[in-house]
Structure 1
Amino acid sequence: MTSSDVLSMYENIAGLTNQMAAAARIGDLDRLGKLEGQCATEARAAGAGVPALSGGQRLRKIDLLKQILANDREIRDITEPWMNAVPGLTRQ
């Protein structure tokens, strides 16, 4: 995996989590679930021999990670109250 591949992967994940947040905002849980699956598939690649980045590429990766985490927080803020209200629903 090249450094360009790494950035592309993180850009794809950031885009998917942005779409997930949008789906959560409008309550489209079917779309949210489908996007979550795509995101998980993409994220699995993050553990497979990802080279370290430096300089501007490292800063871009950090920016993308911040976006991903912000999207994740928004999704959780929207979905956790619903999940906590459903009896017997287990979070993974």
Structure 2
Amino acid sequence: MMNNEEIISLYESVADITEQMLAAARSNDWEHLTALESHCASHARTLEKCEPVAALSGPMRVRKLTIIQKILANDREIRDITEPWMAQLSSLMNNTSTERKLSMTYGRNQAG
């Protein structure tokens, strides 16, 4: 089990990673964003396993709350950037699939 300082340090690492993820999203570096997302998920799993059940008190609690708020703000900004891009990508994929189906259907009819 990790102590409180180690837990806070891990939260700070997650905040740093989400900052890097946001920078990658802003520069449309999807490959780097995906790699960072995997790294962030690994840290989150570690937190789930190792975080003590007892609540933090005083300054440690405030520090953790501030870090979590930063992580959530980064996540919100990343989603604001990636969701329209994902919708556009999905639309392109659907259009390509539809075009392929039409071509196969009507292409065969014209050949026969």
Whether TM-score is above 0.5 comes out as yes
Separation in 2 of the partners of 1:27 and 1:39? 18
After TM superposition, the structure 1 stretch with the greater mean CA deviation from structure 2, 62-71 or 47-56, is: 47-56
After TM superposition, the structure 1 stretch with the greater mean CA deviation from structure 2, 46-55 or 67-76, is 46-55
Structure 1's unaligned 5+ residue stretches are none
How many residues end up aligned between the 2 structures?
89
What do the CA deviations read for 1:8-48 (whole angstroms, capped 9, x no partner)? 11000000000000100011111100100000000101211
Q: Greater CA deviation, 78-87 or 14-23?
A: 78-87
- Which consecutive residues of structure 2, in runs of 5 or more, have no partner in the other structure? 95-112
Structure having the higher helix fraction is: 2
- Percent identity over the alignment is 49
- SS of residue matched to 1:66: helix
Deviation of 1:85 after TM superposition, in Å, equals 1.4
- Aligned partner (choices 63, 66, 81) of residue 66 of structure 2: 63
Q: 2:23 aligns to what?
A: 22
TM-score normalised by L of structure 2: 0.75
How far apart, in 2, do the equivalents of 1:44 and 1:55 lie? 25
Instruction: Give 4+ residue runs of structure 1 displaced > 6 Å after superposition.
Output: none
Equivalent AA in structure 2 for residue 5 of structure 1: E
Larger RCO (alpha carbons 8 Å, 6+ apart):
1
The 2-side partners of 1:49 and 1:41 are apart by: 12
Task: Write the distance in 2 (CA, Å) between the matches of 1:49 and 1:42.
Answer: 10
CA RMSD of aligned residues (A): 1.3
| TM-score, length basis structure 1 | 0.91
TM-fit CA distance, 1:79: 0.4
Give distance in 2, aligned partners of 1:15 and 1:69. Answer: 12
